[in-house]
């Protein structure tokens, strides 16, 4: 799609690939291209699931710190929403999204992975939010998404210390969902989302919206959101097909409508 981000679509799976050697540092151009890729897979009905992957040895080693050395407070006030907006664009993709993490996923790179539904992590990968070592804090959703994912105490440990975790610890604390050899991470991520390419797309969309939206409201509001989304699915062809197939004791053939 651009200089640093490629989008490939095959068999219902859209692969967004970061390609800015050597470590896929997230400069302004890459961020804008990634936002465009997220919007493209959101709008493309041929894409039923998404894999976010880093070309080369690394997923993404965070923001390009060389761009931070001369930025003033006033300039950062204007710019600070850019990377968080990219992470939000990834998080809002209404389809199953998995990060295939090899090498480093640090700082903004880790925040990109946190914006996905799942993380498949290489055995030798390192993940972390080291911003504190620069006199900063995560600024693209890291403090919020990490705490919701692994709990506030564990999130504070990683954020306050800025330390990196390996794949074993990431899996143990819930930062990783699966661990695979580095050479097999992408294929493992594809296999994780492949079943959803033939699933009921509108029901999957509603399920994601219910879970993610419910995390940001009180329980009663979350239950009301769920009920609204549940009722809406009765207007879909896939609901007719799914319930009819159940009664007829045959596998459903969903169309995504």
Give, in order, the Cα–Cα distances in Å from 34 to each of 30, 88, 152. Answer: 6, 11, 29
Of the candidates 205, 198, 196, 255, the residue with the CA atom closest to the CA atom of residue 229: 205
Task: Report the distance separating Cα 25 and Cα 36, nearest Å.
Answer: 17
End-to-end CA distance of the chain: 28
The yes-or-no answer on residue 248 being catalytic is no
Indicate the helix (H) or strand (E) that contains 224: helix 219-232
Q: What is the Cα 65 distance to its own chain's centre?
A: 22
Among candidate residues 3, 67, 131, 248, the one labeled active-site is 131
* Helical ranges in the chain per DSSP H: 28-43, 73-79, 81-91, 108-114, 142-150, 152-161, 167-173, 185-193, 201-214, 219-232, 237-247
Among candidate residues 111, 168, 191, 241, the one labeled active-site is 111
Neighbours of 49 (CB within 10 A): 27
The yes-or-no answer on residue 131 being catalytic is yes
Cβ-based neighbours of 257, under 8 Å, separated by 6 or more: 202, 236, 237, 238
Cβ-based neighbours of 79, under 8 Å, separated by 6 or more: 71
DSSP designation for 177: S
Catalytic positions are 111, 131
């Amino acid at each position: 799609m651009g200089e640093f981000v490629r989008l490939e679509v095959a068999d219902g799976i859209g692969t967004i690939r970061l390609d800015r050697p050597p470590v896929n540092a997230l400069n302004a151009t890459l961020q804008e291209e990634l936002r465009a890729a997220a919007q493209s897979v959101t709008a493309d009905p041929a894409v039923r699931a998404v894999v976010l992957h880093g070309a080369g040895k690394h997923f993404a080693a965070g923001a390009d710190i060389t761009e931070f050395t001369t930025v003033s407070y006033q300039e950062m006030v204007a710019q600070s929403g850019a990377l968080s907006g990219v992470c939000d664009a990834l998080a809002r993709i209404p389809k199953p999204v998995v990060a295939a993490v090899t090498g480093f996923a640090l700082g903004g790179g880790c925040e990109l992975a946190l914006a996905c539904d799942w993380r498949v992590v290489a055995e030798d990968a390192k993940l972390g939010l080291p911003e504190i070592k620069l006199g900063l804090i995560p600024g693209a959703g890291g403090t919020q998404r990490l705490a919701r994912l692994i709990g506030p105490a564990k999130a504070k440990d990683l954020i306050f210390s800025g330390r990196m975790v390996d794949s074993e610890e990431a899996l143990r604390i819930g930062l990783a969902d699966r661990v695979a050899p580095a050479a097999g991470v992408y294929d493992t991520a594809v296999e994780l989302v492949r079943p959803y390419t033939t699933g009921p797309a509108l029901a999957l969309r509603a399920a994601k919206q219910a879970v993610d939206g419910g995390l940001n409201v009180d329980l009663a509001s979350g239950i009301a959101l769920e009920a609204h989304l549940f009722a809406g699915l009765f207007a879909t062809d896939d609901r007719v097909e799914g319930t009819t197939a159940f009664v007829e004791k045959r596998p459903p053939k969903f169309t995504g409508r």
